[in-house]
Amino acid sequence: MSLNHFDIFGLGACFNLDLQALESRYRKIQSDYHPDRFVTAAATERLQSMQIATQANEAYLTLKKPATRAQYLLELQRIQAVSETNTAMPIDFLMQQMEWREQLEDAKLEKNMEALEALIRTLKTESNQLEADFTEQYDLKKDYTSATDTARKLIFIDKLSSDAKSAIEALD
């Protein structure tokens, strides 16, 4: 059986996803197919249930977050958003990137928790805008070239944001 991450939840492959539907369908799949429901079943069925539950966990994790959802949608179009041969970025975004990186490094050196939290908020605002762009480009216009550029920015920002979160954790 080869169901993609959207199929397994019976959802259409689009970026603008009903997250509540995703969550309730994820729970429904786990309720029905989690290995704990099959403890007294035959070995083959236990294995099957483990495979379904494993994929449901992986799919839920991938689709829940905008950056990984965008990346996965492009994979469905056979596009690798992040790869060694595909690294082009608009110069203004690169400049912006570097500025955020510097902010992060400064905040780390100064052990400035507030600055880190402020950076995370800025990144969140930026991410929201990119998500709106991606919906437009991927879901509506099917402009996968622009969508790939947007996805790459989303992934950058997601990485930066998680670095900022680890920095906060290291300070705590």
Shortest Cβ distance from residue 137 to another protein (Å)? 26
Question: Which of 4, 12, 19, 61 is the binder for another protein (CB under 8 A)?
Answer: 61
Q: Which is nearer to another protein, 64 or 93 (CB)?
A: 64
Backbone angles phi, psi at 48, to 5 degrees: -60, -45
Residue 124: Cβ within 10 Å count: 11
Tokens of residue 120, six digits: 């995370």
Shortest Cβ distance from residue 3 to another protein (Å)? 7
Question: Which of 34, 62, 136, 146 is the binder for another protein (CB under 8 A)?
Answer: 34
Separation CA 142–CA 79 (nearest Å): 13
| CB within 8 Å of 76: residues ≥ 6 apart | 4, 13
Shortest Cβ distance from residue 45 to another protein (Å)? 5
* Residue-wise burial string across 81-94, b where 16 or more C-beta atoms lie within 10 A, e elsewhere: beeeeeeeeeeeee
Q: Which positions from 92 through 151 interact with another protein, judged by CB under 8 A?
A: none
Asked if 75 and 27 count as a contact pair (C-beta separation under 8 A), the reply is no
Q: Which stretch binds another protein (CB under 8 A): 1-9, 71-79, 128-136, 143-151?
A: 1-9
- Residue ranges in contact with another protein by CB under 8 A: 1, 3, 7-10, 18, 21, 24-25, 27-45, 48-50, 52-54, 57-58, 60-61, 165, 168-169, 172
